[in-house]
Chains A and B, each alone.
Chain A
Amino acid sequence: MIVYDKKLLDNQILVDEAQTLYKGGFISKEQKKFVQNELPVFKSQENILVRIGFFLLSSLLYGSICGAISIFGISAENAYFQISFYIFAVVGFAGSEILAKQNFHNHGLDDAFILGTIMNIGIAIAITTEGYEAVIAFFMAVASICMFLRYLHLLSMLAFCLSVTAFLFYQMFEFGDIGKAILPFVAMIFAVFFYFLTKKMMYSLTKSYYLNGLLLANSFCLVLLYLSCNYLVVRELSAELLGAEVKPGTDIKFAFFFYAFTFIVPIVYLAQALRTKDRIMLWIGFLAIGFSIYTIRFYYAVLPVEVALTLGGLILFAIAYFSIRKLKEKESGLTFKPDRINHSDAFLNAEALVVASAFGMKPEVKPQDSPMEFGGGGFSGGGSSESF
């Protein structure tokens, strides 16, 4: 199923390992370079900026090829319109094949063709079935899982997870109001089931080619599980789908369960993440806690926003300060010392950028219009950092 040469895939793993060992200071630069010269690998881009650039360029190329084909077909008008997107999908698939044969992998160029194929299949099915959502989601899921299995393409795995979830939702809608009412519970059971399934599959893998994809699906299940029974999501969705207005003094059905779920799940995630040393789950846990706080503030403005921000800042500072003090000298297990092997400091490099966006000073061209614009950019920064 995998299009790439197995030898190259194995080499890639070894070279990546050599790279991490070099960064951790275990092997010398000469050794790393020797490994790189010794083992041929894929043409890939580690730098995300370059990858996005190539993705955009490649999308332009794909688009222009489709445009050139359309010139020939445009005279056939409606008949051409019916089949055009199937042709585009075939073009995308052919492009992905050619790039894969040239050993492009995670390069940006291949991303555009692979994702383009999936998207065009979706559009083509939509035209043929006149917008029947469940069928579209089904075919997109099939297309993306094929793309993932063939090209080991992680974004396709994400597309697969999303379209499978969409398929589940649209299928539930077919059952009418009952289906919509039990949707949260079905989604929850679905997420739990696939969480354990992917976990089991990861443990039974003998080769690590599909590992990252499974890891992604696994994390997706965690996110879906949290969102499926989050109070805010359930309440807003039920208002949207069932038209159930929540009158003052009343609440949605099983409100108690959803409230409990909103708070217990993030805590379970955090505890489990720290126990099993699972970084992805830790991050999902942090984000879930943030969203739970947002959920409460969405319905009950307990504190005015400025007090909440100030207090939140103080509490967060205290948590971080005492954790650092506690963990600073530990040598193993949970620690504050940077890990030599997995250090994820990409965010810290972007720190300055975030400061500039949130607190950069703005010129005061028209001071009479907005009195708060001058000098202390901190004021205007208040709004933009609320999104945290």
Chain B
Amino acid sequence: MHVFTDPDNFDAYVSGFLWILKLTGASAVCALVIGVLLAAMRVSPVPVLRGFGAAWVNVFRNTPLTLVIFFCYFGLFATLGLSLSQDLDLNIYWLGVIGLSVYTAAFVCEAVRSGINTVPTGQAEAARAIGLSFAQTLRIVVLPQAARSVIAPLGSILIALCKNATIVGTIGLLESSNIMKDLINSNGDAVIPIFLVFAGTFAALLIPTGYFFGWLANRLAVKR
């Protein structure tokens, strides 16, 4: 444990996980918003929007996240000159948030869409019968019911997002996996403790999150 009693190493460890949490937080919000919009597009009566939603999902679900993040840095930033912050780290951070959001949104869209399918047909039929428009049917009747059944899949997506945030390390952000690599390289005698601390932190963050979402999903499940 001598590695983590060194204040420099300990600070690096903390800052690595702070980056992971910040990436997860910002991307989760963006991905949820984009994903719900995409799901609404995919069930809408306008063919152009349906096509757009389907294309987005097929492209991003089938492309490795590493390639998406890679493109955000080398394509958007290095070649097209999209700079989001003067600060080097913050710039990479926001590029990472873009990549994680557009990628995760495809999975959120599919989860929400399958959630919409669990709402009984009668609900939408009744909504239409009293004269609600498509937008009203979706917003007032269907999505609130669908939301309760997508909690479990959204929980697994959030957990995967938190783990995927490490991939932003590949474009140079000093997040936890890069910090671990550096600590291992400079402390070859304490490889196992270092790995167990980093992996254990992820496990301590994510396993309870999984149980929490399982509990929440059961609690909020629509009893039919």
Query: Do A and B interact?
Result: no
